[in-house]
Structure 1
Amino acid sequence: MLLIPAIDLKDGQCVRLRQGRMDDTTVFASNPVDVAQRWVDAGARRLHLVDLNGAFAGKPVNGDVVRAIAARFPNVPVQIGGGIRDAATVAAYLEAGVHYCIIGTKAVQEPQFVIDLCQQFPGHIIVGIDAKNGMVATDGWAEVSSVSAIELAKQFEQAGVSAIVYTDIARDGMMTGVNVDETAKLASSISIPVVASGGVTNMDDIKALCAVEDQGIMGAILGRSIYEGTIDLAEAQRYVNELS
């Protein structure tokens, strides 16, 4: 299983939000590249970046930081979400060394956009599904749609999507534990690998996800837990390495 440190970018800094609220921000570091170095040194095999300003602006805002991280760690795959609304943005990120682009809001609003991107950039597109009570949330989690997470994911099964990042927004940043049941339910309903996100708090969460890994869960995104020290990334990485 992949353990993927999250580096959330706001105004050029590394921050964490609670339940996606921009007004509930904790700044963890002023230099996100140094943060990325810390996680790579701890054994991270992939990095998860989010342009929080971009998610609300609908276009990249922290692109310079993303490019700097991708350039520093050419052998560590980087995935980026937040504000990706057109093919030109995807092309620019991939050209800069980013490996995967995550489509969230526009995947809900325009599923054909994802299908077209998968054809244009095969192997590089991930769909981010953020859900509350099983229903998809969009626009930086400001709106909850009438589309279920499973329903949305099924639309992309034949498109060539590399993975689904599934976030339970009721738990994100709250340190209340990952929603293993809903994540496993989604993973077992589709053929696309699923990455769990939101609420991963301690080693018990990681062990619980590993226990259902065979249902299609390929990894977990770690946020506030590794910044506040409730999970030691190096220790957790050793644990999952021993299982593989």
Structure 2
Amino acid sequence: MLAIPVVDVRSGRCVHTHNEASRQKVIMDDPIEVFSVLVEQGAKQVQVVDVDAIRNRQPEHLSLVTRLKREFPQLALQISGGVSSSEDIQIWLDAGADWVTVGGRLLRQQDELELILVELGERIIVGMDVRAQLWQNGYCPAVGMSFSEWVEALKDEGVAALMFTEIPEQGHVNGHSLMAAGQLASSIDLPVIAHGGVHSRNDLLSLSGPSFKHLYGVTVGKPMFEGSFSFGEVVSALAH
């Protein structure tokens, strides 16, 4: 299982973002320093979130992605944030991204998404934030079909992976989302990345269990940067 750190970038700096757009905590002014540490501790793939692009609805940190690929050519980059068209995707790929994560807005535009996947499916990761009752046995209004039908269609269209979050009815994403991602990964023939749910060392230890053996990867972010564990600990935990 691959450990995938998530790095939020805003105004050229690595930050923690909060629900309120005005709230953020700067991790480090120079993202290259953050990436250097992650690579030293074993990072193979990183998700870069362009926070400014979410607000401005256009790619913003293109030069950073190009610089990252120049400085760390062995590192695979998946980009997310405000991706709303095939043009956005191509811009990111041209800048050096290995994959672009699409969700929200594009998932509701099925005709456009289908055209994108026909051309660029292997460079696309589909981000899914789904409530439990929908993915387990329900109909997904956003895409006009059942969850299982949707996943099968994405597989046929050649997507690179699914980045999956189970949204709880109450509270924050937690270990239940990890379990759900593991369950999904064992039931479909597509790489699944568990997104969210790793908050502590205990969560890391749980990932060595058989329920998670089919997961392609798991993302880690804020708790790691706040000192709950290091990225090196994540890599070590997933290696066992």
TM-score by length of 1: 0.81
Counterpart of 1:79 in structure 2 is: 78
One-letter amino acid matched to 1:98:
A
Aligned residue-pair number: 230
What is the letter of the counterpart of residue 221 of structure 2? G
Superposed CA offset, 1:165-211 (max 9, x none): 1134669xx69546223223433443221111123112322232332
Cα distance 1:178–1:62, how it changes in 2: closer, same or farther (>3 A)? Answer: farther
**Corresponding residue SS for 1:98:** coil
Contact preservation (8 Å) 2:8, 2:16: yes
Query: Aligned pair in 2 of structure 1 residues 41, 150: CA closer, same or farther (>3 Å)?
Result: farther
Q: Which of 180, 183, 196 pairs up with 1:182? A: 180
Greater share of helix: 2
Instruction: State the Cα deviation string for residues 89-114 of structure 1 (Å, max 9, x = none).
Output: 22222222210111112342123333
**Matched residue SS, 1:8:** strand
Who is 2:11 aligned against? 11
- Normalized per residue, which structure has more strand? 1
On the 8 A contact 2:85/2:106 being kept in 1, the answer is no
One-letter amino acid of the structure 2 residue matched with residue 16 of structure 1? H
Kindly indicate whether the alpha-carbon contact (under 8 Å) linking 1:165 and 1:197 is maintained by their aligned counterparts in 2: yes
Which residue of the partner structure matches residue 114 of structure 2? 115
Distance 2:11 2:166 in 1: 25
Q: Distance in 1 between matches of 2:30 and 2:115?
A: 35
Query: Residue in 1 aligned with 2:227?
Result: 229
- Distance change (3 Å), C-alpha of 1:221 and 1:60: same
CA contact (8 A) 2:59 2:83 kept: yes
Instruction: Answer whether contact 2:57 2:83 (CA < 8 A) is retained.
Output: yes
Tell which deviates more after alignment, 105-114 or 147-156.
Answer: 147-156
Cα pair 2:83 2:102 within 8 Å, conserved: yes
Supply the AA of the counterpart residue of 2:224. Answer: I
- Aligned-residue CA RMSD in angstroms? 2.7
Distance 1:101 1:146 in 2: 24
C-alpha contact 2:167 2:173 (8 A) present in aligned 1: no
Unaligned residue ranges in structure 1 (runs of 5+) = 137-144
Which deviates further from its counterpart, 34-43 or 177-186?
Answer: 177-186
Amino acid at match of 1:8: D
- Determine the structure 1 residue equivalent to 2:60: 61
Say yes or no: does 1:208 pair with 2:206. yes
1:141 maps to none
**Structure 1 counterpart of 2:46:** 47
Instruction: Give ranges in structure 2 of 5+ residues lacking alignment.
Output: none
Residue 88 of structure 1 is matched in structure 2 by 87
Q: Select the structure of larger CA radius of gyration.
A: 2
| Aligned counterparts of 1:131 and 1:118: Cα–Cα separation in 2 | 21
Identity of aligned residues (%): 26
Distance (Å, rounded) in 1 between the aligned partners of 2:62 and 2:166: 26
TM-score, structure 2 normalization: 0.82
Q: Cα gap change, 1:122/1:130 in structure 2, threshold over 3 Å: closer, same or farther?
A: closer
Take 1:232 and 1:134, find their aligned partners in 2: how far apart are those partners? 34
Q: How far, CA to CA, are the matches of 2:9 and 2:23 in structure 1?
A: 14
